[in-house]
Amino acid sequence: MRRLFVPAWADTLSGRARGLHGWRVLLAASGFASCLLAGAAGGADVGRRSAASAHADADHTSTRPTASRAATARSAPLVALGRKLFMDRRLSPNDTMSCGMCHVPEQGFVVNEIATAVGFEGRSLRRNAPTVLDVGMQRSMFHDGRVRTLEEQVWGPLLARDEMANPSREAVLKRIAGLADYRRPWRRAFGDPEVTPPRIEAALAAYERSLDGGLSRFDRWRFLGATDALDARERRGFELFSGAAGCVRCHAIDEREAPFTDHAFHNTGIGARQAATTRYDVPLAPGENTVVDAAWIASQFGANPRDDGRFEFTGRAEDRHRYKTPSLRHVALTAPYMHDGSLATLEAVIDFYARGGGEDPGRDPALAPLDLSPDDRAALAAFLRSLTGERVARLAREARRAASTPEFR
């Protein structure tokens, strides 16, 4: 993992705890003023360096310096505005789809019931919605990493015909400007009620960066010396994860923090499995599916739901079926798994890896069949379930409250 620059004042933090929050501290400390300035100038990275951990959480902030707390307080109005936008179904033409409909706060900010997301007027997407928890630490967006920043990412779902289906950016601006309940939060965040694309980007991105899921039991055990935070089985799971099962090679952790991703792209063989599929299970509604033929889908929509992963973006043959290594923080909450949602449970994921991944000549050489007993598999699953952060439930409640515009509860 690339080292983060740690500013001098961060040295006041103690040992390993400092690194744990390296990226969070950095983002928070760089301040809200620069965000506003960049916002006014229309910079694409408005807020990239701003307003990260906008929350005051007594036991959580104990590993952070005062500087970040001050920045946190200043960014609160921007985060609140972003939260309201994220949860607002009026941001789609027929008042149905919000970001929070596919990144459901109570479901780990994904949709647990279906493999791939369902968008505007029930159109189904070809990919599984990833969580936005801890998304501030991601170095690229989407399963194929085709977008670099959260700010750039915002317009994708707002305008995609099968997601929120707005006809244009202007339409989105007009819609928000016409909603009276936005005037006050807008003024609090920016000083005046003018709705501009960079401001929408800045608010949504600041909110997303505030979705810091907090410390997990694993973090407490590994970085804060809480020896009893994990039980024996979970510890055994970690031993396998970081040893014999080789998971850390891609789901990386280091001495100072545990992002559980190398921010790189790998072919696990999941993509090839999917490419060999000629019939698709299409979700109609939560719990209700129908099976259709790939050829029929192509004839109806002119598009092949086939997914080539990062190849689609880079055009490099070796990138076919490579996907971003997802972070495993909060992974117990974010089923189903993989870019196509094809593995329903953590147990299914572990079995998949135990077989050495999927059949694909381009499969990553780091994957090979693993000799894992049923106890080992259970230990790995138990370990993965210890990675849920302590702030997640609270973030979900805050998001749901923000959705309570009277007529759109």
* Token code pair at residue 376: 């080992």
> How far apart are the C-alpha atoms of 72 and 81, rounded to whole Å?
14
Q: Is 141 in the site for ligand HEC (CB under 6 A)?
A: yes
DSSP for 304-325 reads: -----BTHHHH--GGGTTBEE-
Residues 142, 177, 289, 390: which binds ligand HEC (CB under 6 A)?
142
> How far apart are the C-alpha atoms of 17 and 138, rounded to whole Å?
20
CA quadruple 378, 384, 387, 388: dihedral sign: negative
To 10 degrees, the CA torsion angle through 214, 107, 396, 330? Answer: 0
Residues 364, 376, 386, 398: which binds ligand HEC (CB under 6 A)?
364
Angular region, 309: left φ>0, alpha ψ -120 to 50, beta rest: left
Residues 30, 138, 166, 386: which binds ligand HEC (CB under 6 A)?
138
- Which residue number, 146 or 187, has a Cβ lying nearer to ligand HEC? 146
As measured in angstroms, the least distance from the Cβ of 136 to ligand HEC is 10
Helix (H) or strand (E) holding 70: helix 66-86
As measured in angstroms, the least distance from the Cβ of 123 to ligand HEC is 8
Inter-residue contact 313 to 146 (CB < 8 Å): yes
DSSP-derived 3-state class of residue 114: coil
- Which residue number, 142 or 405, has a Cβ lying nearer to ligand HEC? 142
- Which residue number, 17 or 370, has a Cβ lying nearer to ligand HEC? 370
Q: Is 135 in the site for ligand HEC (CB under 6 A)?
A: yes
- Which residue number, 18 or 339, has a Cβ lying nearer to ligand HEC? 339
> How far apart are the C-alpha atoms of 366 and 146, rounded to whole Å?
24
Q: Is 366 in the site for ligand HEC (CB under 6 A)?
A: yes
What is the pattern of x (binds ligand HEC, CB under 6 A) and - over residues 3-42? Answer: ----------------------------------------
Q: Is 377 in the site for ligand HEC (CB under 6 A)?
A: no
Q: Is 244 in the site for ligand HEC (CB under 6 A)?
A: no
Q: Is 52 in the site for ligand HEC (CB under 6 A)?
A: no
- CB count, 10 Å around CB of 232? 9
CA quadruple 112, 117, 122, 124: dihedral sign: negative
180 Cβ neighbours under 8 A, 6+ residues apart: none
- CB count, 10 Å around CB of 100? 22
Distance of CA 248 to the CA centre of its chain: 19
Q: Is 46 in the site for ligand HEC (CB under 6 A)?
A: no
Distance of CA 32 to the CA centre of its chain: 23
Helix (H) or strand (E) holding 166: none
Q: Is 102 in the site for ligand HEC (CB under 6 A)?
A: yes
Residues 45, 151, 163, 319: which binds ligand HEC (CB under 6 A)?
163
Residues 25, 52, 133, 154: which binds ligand HEC (CB under 6 A)?
154
Residues 20, 28, 114, 164: which binds ligand HEC (CB under 6 A)?
164
Residues 158, 258, 272, 297: which binds ligand HEC (CB under 6 A)?
158
CA quadruple 216, 218, 220, 222: dihedral sign: negative
How many residues bind ligand HEC (CB under 6 A)? The answer is 53
* Token code pair at residue 87: 């949860």
Residues 78, 99, 211, 402: which binds ligand HEC (CB under 6 A)?
99
**Segment lying near ligand HEC (by CB under 6 A), choices 2-10, 265-273, 284-292, 310-318:** 265-273
DSSP-derived 3-state class of residue 81: helix
**Segment lying near ligand HEC (by CB under 6 A), choices 165-173, 177-185, 240-248, 297-305:** 240-248
In the complex, the residues that contact ligand HEC under the rule CB under 6 A are 86, 97, 99, 101-103, 117, 119, 125, 127, 129-130, 132, 135, 138, 141-143, 150, 153-154, 157-158, 163-164, 204, 208, 245-247, 249-251, 266, 268, 270, 323, 325-326, 328, 331, 334, 337-339, 346, 349-350, 353, 364, 366-367, 380
